[in-house]
Amino acid sequence: MRYLIALLAVAGIVAATLALRIHYSMDAPPCDINAHWDCGIVNHSRYSAIHGIPVAAIGIAGYAVIAILALFRRYRLLLATSLAGLAFTLYLTSIEARILEIWCLYCVISQAIMALIFLLSIAALIWSRKSTA
């Protein structure tokens, strides 16, 4: 289970890195699909950084912490961290849906990965408690 969570965290790092690349790029983003799907608009909006730190960079750091916690079987901390990550992605999803009304493909992929990590973290914590009982 820990390797699967760590692998998903690496996938999250890849998605966040692609979003970060768009954040700093002035070129046309590869995910400019239509009026409702445009990573460039999302990653250049005023919501793409918190106190000057790109949201994608925060995601990269968060996924790295999740991978480390999973590999070291720190399931309680992993669950807390993945819950915080899920809450953060739901907040960002709300901004995309209600304020920007535009979706970023990389962000949606990251949101799905974080939801999966959260669910697997619950399962890993339950499994670890059963195996020690």
In this prediction, residues 5-15 reach a mean pLDDT of: 98
Q: Looking at residue 29, what is its pLDDT?
A: 66
Taking only the tens place, the pLDDT of each residue in 41-54 is 898 899 999 999 99
pLDDT higher than 90, residue 30: no
What mean pLDDT value characterizes the chain? 93
Identify the residue whose tokens are 């590999």: 71
Q: Looking at residue 9, what is its pLDDT?
A: 98
In this prediction, residues 34-41 reach a mean pLDDT of: 84
- What angle is formed at CA 9 by the lines to CA 22 and CA 53, rounded to 5 degrees? 40
CA dist 36 and 121 (Å) reads 32
Identify the residue whose tokens are 């790109």: 54
- What angle is formed at CA 7 by the lines to CA 61 and CA 50, rounded to 5 degrees? 20
- What angle is formed at CA 86 by the lines to CA 82 and CA 89, rounded to 5 degrees? 135
Query: Which tokens belong to 121?
Result: 């973290």
Which of 68, 81, 72, 90 has its CA nearest to residue 10?
A: 68
Q: Looking at residue 18, what is its pLDDT?
A: 94
